[in-house]
Structures are given as C-alpha cells and as structure tokens.
A and B are shown apart, each in its own frame.
Chain A
Amino acid sequence: MPTYYDTEVASRLMLGTAQYPSPAILAEAFRRSGAGIATVSVRRESGGQRAGQAFWDLIRDLGVHVLPNTAGCHSVREAVTTAQMARELFGTTWIKLEVIGHADTLQPDPFGLVEAARILTDEGFKVFPYCTEDLVICERLVEAGCEVLMPWGAPIGTGLGLNNIYGLRTLRAHFPDLPLVVDAGLGVPSQAAHAMELGYDAVLLNTAVAKAGDPAAMAEGFARALEAGRMGYEADPMMPRDMAAPSTPVLGQAFS
C-alpha cells in the first residue's frame, strides 16, 4: 500500500468531500470504498452558522487521514497563507498544494507551484503538489522537497480520464520509487484501473463519485477497479503484439 512521507495508508483511493447530495451519502461513500484519505478545504466562515464545526465533526468521524487543499489559490502568497491556516485548523502538516494558473482549465501554474512547494517544505509542510504530467516540472518539485507527485489525468471535474498516457508512463519510469497519484479528471472506474496498470500508487477523485447517480456505489466501483488494476500491474502483464497468436493448441487439430 502507498506510503506518503513515512505514513502508510491502507487504501489506494483518496476521496474528495465536496458536492455530495448529503453528509450521509458522503459518509456512505467513504464507508463502502474504504478510502484512506479525505481531501478538505478552508473557506470563509459565514455568519453564525458554524457550518465548519459540523463539517469537521463529520470528517473526524470518518476515521481517515485528512489532506487539506489550497484549491482556488492563484498566487504563491494566497497558497502559502491558506496552507498555514489549514495546518492550524486541521492539525496536519500535509497539504495538497494547488496554485491555479488558468481559469478555464484549472491548469496548475508550474512556476508558482514550485516556488510555493519550496516555501512550504522549508516551513515543515509535507507537500502533495497538484501538477501536470510535465517531467521537468516534476523534477523541480522533487528538488523543492516533494516526496509525492499528483499529476492530473485531465482537468478537474471533466471526467475525461487519462489524457496523456505517454506522459504519465514517463513519470512512472523516471520516478520509480516516488508515490505517484493521478489527481483529477477521472470519470469512471476503468480509468482508475488504467492508472493502476501504469504503475501509479493511488488516485484522487471527487466529482466522479459525488456527481454520480449513486455516489456510494460509484465509490465502491472505483475501489474495486483500483484493486483489479493494481493486481494486474503486479501480475506482470503480457506484452501486446500486432499479429494474432492462437491460444488453443494447433497440434492435434482435426482435419489438419
């Protein structure tokens, strides 16, 4: 099972906590999938509603690791300050670092991401960077202190799956010992299985589960796909070939 900064997590699924039809369905999705990490955010407290406390109680009851994010931050300063607030609120040094560079694609700003990763690592954070599958950017993130990489499969919320198989495979080959997580863009379980077959360690989902007609069933479907894909990867798959090769013995065939 994957180990992030010396913490082993007994699941290959990281699950977001946003957009569910209800808190009960959110909890059911975690229960049925066995997801080991929940991503969360910090947002402005509004009025006297104390929604934050109720949400915190719900997450604590899930009994999973908590990974706060810096979602929506477009500058290094915003991201660093948000991470510092998240560390105090959630009592963890883990941070899913997002520095968004483009409003339409929510593509990470690679320059800001590397700079923020360096600052936060120096401050003792354990950074989980949401990045593209660009090899050079990923090398810079590792140099900045990141011990896990989280390249996108496709833009957040699109459900398009793994858009750049070659790029993802290249990352796996170049960082054989680093935990790699496909973060964002997955829509259906087969795409998660594919990520496992590429040798990835985990996937991070939110919209694909939360916006499914039956979120809890979809969460379990993803969990099973992850298990199947990982098992296939570890079983050393056959090499594909262009020409057919009969599987039934040719020797002894009648009429030959």
Chain B
Amino acid sequence: MNITLNGTKQETGAETLADLLTEMGYTDARVATAVNEDFVPAASRAEHRLNDGDRIEIVTPRQGG
C-alpha cells in the first residue's frame, strides 16, 4: 500500500505500525509515533493496522528552545 512516512510518499508491505517500524529498522530506537495526526502509543503499535494513504510520523528527541 502507499503511505506517507515523515512527509515522503512510499510503498510498504507492513500491515501494522509495529511491522513498519521493524521494516524501517527502528525496532529498538527511541521513537514516538503518530498516524494521521493522532498519537499512537508504543503499546498500541502492534494492533494498529495501517491503511492505504495513511500519514505516519516517526519522531525522536531533538534539540529545542
């Protein structure tokens, strides 16, 4: 299916958000996630099924003011 990941359109075979993180190599990474602008807690990623056209954000700690 087609998704938009961090602003970039791409294809994925992942069925769930957890699968997508594994596919991207973020299994152990310190990241937080949102789908279609709604927060998805880490504990819910395995049950969160992806749909065609989903907009997914994967964020990490960064410098800030």
Chain A residues within 8 Å of B, Cβ to Cβ: 16-20, 39-46, 48, 50-53, 55-56, 59, 68-69, 71, 77-78, 81, 84-86, 88-90, 156, 184, 204, 206-207
Contacts and interface: CB of A to CB of B under 8 A. Distances in A.
Given A44-B7, A44-B57, A78-B37, A53 B30 contact: yes
A75 B54 CA distance: 20
A52 B60 contact: yes
Given A81-B39, A84-B39, A85-B34, A48 B62 contact: no
**Residue in A19, A89, A156 with the greatest tally of chain B CB atoms within 10 Å:** A89
Interface residues of B, number: 24
A16 B31 contact: no
**Residue in A42, A56, A206 with the greatest tally of chain B CB atoms within 10 Å:** A42
A143 B37 CA distance: 27
A223 B59 CA distance: 32
A interface: dominant SS: mixed
Nearest to A207: B65
Contact of A39 (B25, B34, B57, B64): B64
Interface of B: 6-7, 25-26, 29-34, 37-39, 41-42, 57-65
A86 to B, nearest CB: 7
A40 B64 contact: yes
A40 B38 contact: no
A81 B64 contact: no
Nearest to A210: B65
Given A16-B64, A17-B63, A206-B65, A45 B29 contact: yes
A156 B62 CA distance: 18
A237 B37 CA distance: 51
Q: Which 6 A-B pairs have the closest CB atoms?
A: A52-B60, A41-B64, A16-B65, A206-B65, A85-B32, A84-B39
A90 to B, nearest CB: 7
A52 B63 contact: no
Nearest to A89: B32
